[in-house]
Structure 1
């Protein structure tokens, strides 16, 4: 379910290929007699439409991290709460939409409410009160950040600016967040190889001194995926908490070490497309003539999810952020 004004970033050829893959996937599920979360949600909708809901009703729903839900999952709530006027409160951050298969904006929820909640209630005269239609409240932005200092917030806002520039229909346009205190700017650490970077941070190698100088409970190493997580755990053992970006979502730490995010990125040298933004905003002079590709949404579609993952990672810290990379590009 997408809002009517949403435009697909895929051309017809790509959409046909994806649909063919989908049909093959559905065939494999039938052959192995398996189902996925979408099948489960669709089955619930079918059962509720045909048989109705016979359980206890809910008066109010307060949902945080709503960006992790699909529109079909949110639509299930209409069966258990009839308080359309004031029974739903959703909170979340569209820049933190890193769950696979979900493309979220608050505008999509508003569209869903008009089409799936209000329309159905008004059709049955349950949404009409004294001849007046029920209207949705305006969105309220929480722009004061009580966790992260201004040094980190400035970097986070720069990532949001990139999302607004390259993918304006993928995130809600919000005012910049403000912090209560000033703090250190993020630090970039460069190294020639993976193991030396970790050993430099944690002290001498275990072979020389038997153990490493570890992080505390308020520090974390963030990595891209489970494979990298296993590699780092093999190096540091129990001396540091190592989490993937997906695992750290919703958590906060005093200090964060983001490890090899760009070096392990599937975008590789396509990150250079950001130079186009920097030229457009006069961050770098056009006379510098830095080689970079022009932005093509069909070729650089991964950039959106990469920026969202980066946003989640850097906003986990309250104080210090180290970005450790082992590539010069």
Structure 2
């Protein structure tokens, strides 16, 4: 269905782009300086076919990849290190890559990591082939429990009642605060309430960023799972 839709609209995606480059490498010689080392961060955000291209172009170079399969949130991406090993095996590479885990998290406290580990555990139970088996992340610091706010209008979340002057004032978030929404439609709903509230990011935009305070706005209400 997806491929038919692309053909009908004359569209192409990142996989089509990589396939086109791979076909070009079969008929053209790519010149340029010799690359000795290749470093790839957030490797889970790429498709396995992208790594076939990288190995074809830089096979003689030392390649270092860093990533976390639990952070693979890009639509259509199902990266696993197992698939990368399989690709190397199919290419006739008998050398097994050196692998090491960095499971101490210095950016989040224990409560957040325990919640994340519980989600990963459920993924392994219900979708055992969708993610690599890695050690759970740990932290050396504690933190506050999240506050769940329900039973109120959305506009009331961003209003502070000032009894001294008998008026309602919109709360403005600073650089250390953020409102995270599921998608662009949810962002527009918040902006309708107040377009000066502060930084509003989708999940994809907030990935890899750090904030002191995070408001996760209607994340489950806006889940596409509820549409089924």
Q: Which residue of 1 aligns with 2:71?
A: 96
Q: Deviations over 1:105-132 (max 9, x none)?
A: 111111122224xx2xx7xxxxxxxxxx
Q: Deviations over 1:36-88 (max 9, x none)?
A: 3332211110110122322223111111111111111222112332335xx11
Aligned 1:131-146 pairs, distance under 5 A? 134-146=94-106
Q: Which residue of 2 aligns with 1:253?
A: 211
CA contact (8 A) 1:153 1:178 kept: yes
Q: Could you say which structure has the higher helix fraction? A: 1
1: CA distance between counterparts of 2:78 and 2:184? 23
3-state SS in 2 of match to 1:99: coil
Q: Pick from 107, 117, 122 the counterpart of residue 147 of structure 1.
A: 107
2: CA distance between counterparts of 1:227 and 1:25? 23
Matched, 1:22 2:27: no
Q: Pick from 104, 111, 115 the counterpart of residue 90 of structure 2.
A: 115
CA contact (8 A) 1:58 1:80 kept: no
Distance apart, 1:269 and its partner CA: 8.9
User: How many corresponding residue pairs?
Assistant: 225
**Residues 24/216 of structure 1: CA separation in 2 closer, same or farther (3 Å cut):** closer
What are structure 2's unaligned runs of at least 5 residues?
A: none
What are structure 1's unaligned runs of at least 5 residues?
A: 1-17, 123-133, 271-329
Q: Deviations over 1:192-236 (max 9, x none)?
A: 43333x23xx4149xx74742222211110000111111112323
Of structures 1 and 2, the one with the larger relative CO (CA 8 A, separation 6+) is 1
Aligned 1:35-184 pairs, distance under 5 A? 35-83=12-60, 87-116=62-91, 119=92, 134-184=94-144
CA contact (8 A) 1:57 1:80 kept: no
Aligned 1:250-289 pairs, distance under 5 A? 250-268=208-226
**Residues 36/160 of structure 1: CA separation in 2 closer, same or farther (3 Å cut):** closer
CA contact (8 A) 1:67 1:93 kept: yes
